[in-house]
Chain A
């Protein structure tokens, strides 16, 4: 699906990001009214910025891909990503803003008055950030591969370069406005095409997604295999073309793929006939359309456990993501932090209406992705597939541009946060130079990781980052804010007891090939056991070490929970001043 327009769109987004970053949305005023008078960013701006930074590769391409492949179980991803903000809103947002902490390590130090707790939180934040950056880069590679045919690493490299250079040159200065703009760009890029696609689907007769037994090719479809792929055919199908099948070389000839497994060599190109049932890539269970449309029947083991684990990870993981917390600092006070979160909920909900539609339409129009395994590409391929001519090309370009915006904005936010953690807590290099070195490091490490990971679905990888955050930093925040009994020893033990197993499970699933063992789901969806473990260890160890309760815990609680305008907070700035 090489498309000139799409390449232009990706380039425009990349260059635009650099230009906006360098020249900034420099709202300078010779007479100084605007910023000082309004004093802070309004919740709407801030909420858009949070949305812009939060809607990552997983949201833009990943969710649609998973729903396309596995069906309604995967709807828990968008639900969870959004509901995570609800938990953040009710339990954490306002106290966190009142604490004056700028990052999670700051909060750890402020609440527990311990450098060690801070160090552990820093390392975990770093691990979560990198785990989250990895799928962004993979998504970028996939997008560029889909629209230009370039190798996977090119997209990852471009995103890393753009983001690193931009952040290093101090380009993310007006980051709030850039990110706010990105949200609306992404919303447009995903909404406009789907409106057209639904109209086209209606025109085609609003075909049911579950009517044929298996997804079928709508027309003769030519499929290129860029990797060696093992596929599974449920019904025998006649194919034509050149390439290698099961070690047999054929040149421009026809062949019947019988029911069963077949290995297709790299570089093969075959045409599949109209009406034929689509074979599946062997790592994906071969479902009928009927089982696809039902929950808990996508063929994964222990589907109920998987769903609950996903719910726990996403509901509780949002608050532990390093780039989410930073945005709350821009709120002037706890009330504004709450209002911002409320608006974010609305903005995210609107956005998440769209990806499932792409996934569902993909069953009808781009079923061959089930065979190549590139399910994440469904959002990118659909517009050009469903609408012929320049219209489809333009819509496809819009989607590709939006996807790239998603990779760039989320990665920028993450790299800025990670560079902050690195320069402050790991390298201990202050100033501009330290920040620049840290930025390079923050970008290069995940880039290196993309070369060894096994290409699991983007949203699944993000799910793992959420699981680690939910098992380690979430207990720290929740218990740190809501319990006076947590001790420094307990905090450290809890973070490690939850975070280390989750991280290990995540790395194992990411860097080793998926296998069929019964415990596979425990590793790929670890949250259901690691989160309770983290909470339990933190609380129990705290009860066992009552002498290590940090000093001044009652004062800390007052600062976290008392509304600012009571003036109870003696040390911090008083915004009420003496005007009363």
Chain B
């Protein structure tokens, strides 16, 4: 026992010594001059304040960044406001927070940094005046930064002004982040539900041709058309089940068969095990549309489309194959890389990107094709994916 205690004590003392030495040498070596040390500390504090600011002027995040901003300015108190209220108060004398908005009003009007004299009746309050600087994002004042101190020196005004500019820069980045996300969402929304105008025209003409000769068929086709468009135009949810997607494909094919008649031959083979699998909304229907277009284009003889959905252990494999004109592999490669417009395939690039974004790069589209030799597209979808099925 004695030995054990001794050994433990030696270990602890030794460890502490090593730690002290390491810290000491590190500081000495890396920050040798005073200027470097000041630069390091200032930028480090600013860096700490940046991530919360990137979330915008919301109470929780603003509170975190205000702490670091106050350290930068070295004032007894600091406040952040948005256009209507104080979102964070950091430091002492919180009773001044109530009047902060009245000073902010002035700054919103002028858009310039101003100093205010706010006499305080309380004996121990270290706050006598406020320097309020605007946070300007894209030419508009979205909030203010107020530094409270005993006296408003020119130095404090200048420093506050700079800190406010820096913080506004971060808020601008936050705005940029948000608009980028919105852009991606809008792109997906726009691309995922594109029904080709030709398809609508062709379908309606085909249905019209049946109205007199076979009204019952015309009615069924119209219902298919209605269901198909409702599905394609639906706004909510980025995901659907394979069963739903296949039903939409079924309706689509019914309409295409009305147009092409016996020339369009379709084989659909689906393992029932994969029907409940969750898939990105409209990730297959455009591929089938593509197959029909390529399979029937410039041909008199029948075109054959084969659609298989197989159970592959932990993932579902969907293959869509046509025996049509095929695609130029180079052109296709450029399309998938997002370079050329959508001429080589309807939304292939978009589907590929969405699959990769959801499931990771190994789940992109696999396209086997050559000019004149048909096209085979394989989609693999994991049955379970933490980001989608997770709770």
- Name, among B253, B267, B273, the residue most crowded by chain A CB atoms within 10 Å (CB to CB): B273
Residue A109 at the B interface, CB < 8 A? Answer: yes
The answer for the CA separation of A330 and B274 in the assembled complex, in Å, is: 7
> Is there contact, CB below 8 Å, between A329 and B383?
yes
Contacts of A40 in B (CB 8 A): 243, 272, 275-276
Q: Which residue of A lies closest to B268 (CB)?
A: A32
Known: A103-B384, A560-B391. A36 touches B230 (CB 8 A): no
In the bound complex, residues from chain B placing their C-beta under 8 Å from that of A556 are 391
Which A residues are in CB contact (< 8 Å) with B391? 99, 110-111, 113, 552, 555-556, 559-560
Judge whether A175 is part of the interface by a CB distance below 8 angstroms: yes
Q: Any chain B CB within 8 A of the CB of A266?
A: no
Closest-CB distance, B282 to chain A (whole angstroms): 13
Please tell me if A340 contacts chain B, counting CB pairs below 8 Å: no
Which residues of A are found within 8 Å of B237, using beta-carbon distances?
A: 573-574
Which of B247, B265, B276, B362 is packed against the most chain A CB atoms within 10 Å?
A: B276
A389 in the interface (beta carbon within 8 A): no
Interface 1/0s, chain A 409-437, versus B by CB < 8 A? Answer: 00000001001100110000011100100
The answer, yes or no, to whether B240 is at the interface (CB within 8 Å) is yes
Question: Contact string, A546-574, partner B, CB cutoff 8 A, digits 1/0?
Answer: 00000010011001100000000001111
Which B residues lie within 8 Å of A241 (CB)?
none
Partner of A36, one of B231, B243, B313, B386: B243
Taken together as a complex, chains A and B put the C-alpha atoms of A560 and B383 apart, in Å, by 18
Rounded to whole Å, the gap between the CB of B360 and the closest CB of chain A is 9
Within 8 A of A (CB), among B213-231: 230-231
Closest Cβ neighbor of A573 among chain B residues: B241
- Cβ 8 A contact of B268, one of A29, A424, A560: A29
Q: Are A329 and B362 in contact (CB under 8 A)?
A: no
* Alpha-carbon separation in the docked complex, A170 to B267 (Å): 20
**A residues near B383, Cβ cutoff 8 Å:** 102, 329
**A-facing mask of B361-391, CB < 8 A → 1, else 0?**
0100000000000000000100110101111
Band of interface residues on B: 35 or more
Residue of A nearest to B389 (CB): A100
Residues of B within 8 A of A175 (CB): 273, 311
| Bound Cα distance A331, B272 (Å) | 10
Roughly how many angstroms separate A99 CA and B388 CA in the complex, as a whole number?
Answer: 11
Q: From B386, which residue of chain A is reached at the shortest CB distance? A: A109
A102 to B250, CA, bound (A): 26
Residue of B nearest to A32 (CB): B268
- Other-chain contact of A110, B253, B267, B268, B390 (Cβ < 8 Å): B390
Min distance, Cβ A569 to any Cβ of chain B, angstroms: 9
The secondary structure that dominates the B interface is mixed
Residues in chain A near residue B247, CB distance under 8 A: 36, 39
- The docked-state distance in angstroms from the alpha carbon of A32 to that of B276 is 18
Binary CB contact string for chain A from 16 to 27 against chain B (1 if under 8 A, 0 otherwise): 000000000011
Would you call B244 an interface residue if the criterion is a C-beta within 8 Å of the partner chain's C-beta atoms? yes
Give 1 or 0 for each of B349-365: 1 = CB within 8 Å of chain A CB: 00000000000001000
**Given known A-B contacts A40-B276, A173-B311, A435-B312, A573 and B268 have beta carbons under 8 A apart:** no
Residue pair B250, A36 in contact (C-beta under 8 Å): yes
Which residue on chain A has the smallest CB distance to residue B309?
A35
B47 at interface (Cβ–Cβ under 8 A)? no
A332 within 8 A of B: yes
A244, CB-defined interface residue at 8 Å: no
Interface residue A221 (Cβ < 8 Å from any Cβ of B): no
Interface residues of A in 86-132 (CB under 8 A from B): 99-103, 106, 109-111, 113
Contact A420 B311, CB 8 Å, known A572-B239, A574-B237: no
Q: Which chain B residue lies CB-closest to A33?
A: B250
Q: Closest approach, in angstroms, between the C-beta of B176 and any C-beta of chain A?
A: 27
B226 to chain A, nearest CB (A): 12
Q: Do the beta carbons of B388 and A330 come within 8 Å of each other?
A: no
Task: Flag if B239 contacts A578 (CB, 8 Å).
Answer: no
The interface residues of chain B lying within 8 Å CB-to-CB of A577 are: 231, 234, 244
Does chain B have a CB within 8 A of A31? yes
Does B72 count as interface, using CB distance less than 8 angstroms? no
Tell me the bound Cα distance from A400 to B176 in angstroms: 71
Nearest B residue (CB) for A556 = B391
Interface residues of A in 145-179 (CB under 8 A from B): 170, 172-176
Query: A577 vs B234: C-alpha distance in the bound complex, in angstroms?
Result: 9
**Complex interface: chain A residues within 8 A of B265 (CB):** 30
Cα distance, A329 to B250, chains bound together (Å) = 23
Task: Give the complex CA separation of A578 and B232 in angstroms.
Answer: 12
Query: Do residues A30 and B250 form an inter-chain contact, with CB atoms below 8 A?
Result: no
A432 to B362, CA, bound (A): 12
Instruction: State whether A35 touches B386 (Cβ < 8 A).
Output: no
Whether, in the assembled complex, B310 has its beta carbon less than 8 Å from a beta carbon of chain A, the answer is yes
Q: Counting CB contacts under 8 A, is B246 at the interface?
A: yes
- CB–CB A329/B276 < 8 A: yes
**CA–CA, A41 to B266, complex, Å?**
22
Q: Which residues of B contact A26 (CB under 8 A)?
A: 269
B278 touching A573 by the CB < 8 A rule? Answer: yes
Q: Determine if A274 is an interface residue (Cβ-Cβ < 8 Å).
A: no
A106 touches B273 (CB 8 A): no
Residue of B with least CB distance to A174: B271
Q: Is A2 an interface residue (CB 8 A)?
A: no
Q: Is A236 on the interface with B (CB-CB < 8 A)?
A: no
Q: Would A39 and B243 count as touching, CB distance under 8 A?
A: yes
Asked if A300 is at the interface of the complex by the 8 Å CB criterion, the answer is no
Contact B272 A330 (CB under 8 A): yes
Query: What sequence of 0s and 1s flags, for each residue 251-279 of chain B, a beta carbon within 8 Å of any chain A beta carbon?
Result: 00100000000000111111111011010
Q: Which residues of A contact B (CB under 8 A)?
A: 26-32, 35-37, 39-41, 99-103, 106, 109-111, 113, 170, 172-176, 329-332, 416, 419-420, 423-424, 430-432, 435, 552, 555-556, 559-560, 571-575, 577-578
10 A-B pairs within 8 Å (CB atoms) are namely A32-B307, A36-B247, A36-B268, A37-B250, A332-B276, A430-B362, A571-B239, A573-B278, A577-B244, A578-B230
Q: Which residues of B contact A (CB under 8 A)?
A: 230-231, 234, 236-237, 239-241, 243-244, 246-247, 249-250, 253, 265-273, 275-276, 278, 307, 310-314, 362, 380, 383-384, 386, 388-391
Q: Which 3 A-B pairs have the closest CB atoms?
A: A100-B389, A556-B391, A32-B268
New contact pairs (6) apart from A32-B268, A35-B270, A575-B241, CB-CB < 8 Å: A40-B275, A99-B389, A113-B386, A176-B272, A330-B273, A572-B389
